[in-house]
Amino acid sequence: NARGKEAAVLEHLILCLLLTVVTIGALLNLIGVNWSEQKAGGGKVFGVLLDILKIAFEYTWKILWHLIQWLTWFLPELLKFLKDALKMLVVIRRGK
């Protein structure tokens, strides 16, 4: 079934993206913990880069979270609409 394969690929892609974001966040956390102890010794450029990466991760996570929440609301509504539209199409075709 082509639709089933497309859905499985999309699901796999979303899962991989989420795992990537979580992994990057965990790595940044580890680097951040180690870096905060050494930050006083200089090397402010790395600290700034790390802060930028942390902010990017936080916003990416928030955006993904809102996207997931929106999809959990939107997908059932969309599927219900498509199901109703398909039923109407079947009724129209049978009427001809």
Of 7-11, 16-20, 23-27, 66-70, which gets the smallest average pLDDT?
23-27
- 86 dihedral zone (left: phi>0; alpha: psi -120 to 50; beta): alpha
Q: What's the mean pLDDT in 52-78?
A: 79
Residue type, 16: C
Distance CA 76, CA 12 (A): 19
The Cβ-side half-sphere exposure at 40, using a 13 Å CA radius, reads: 1
Give the tens place of pLDDT for each residue, 17-39.
877 877 777 776 666 655 555 55
In this predicted model, which residue has the larger pLDDT, 46 or 19?
19
pTM over 0.75: no
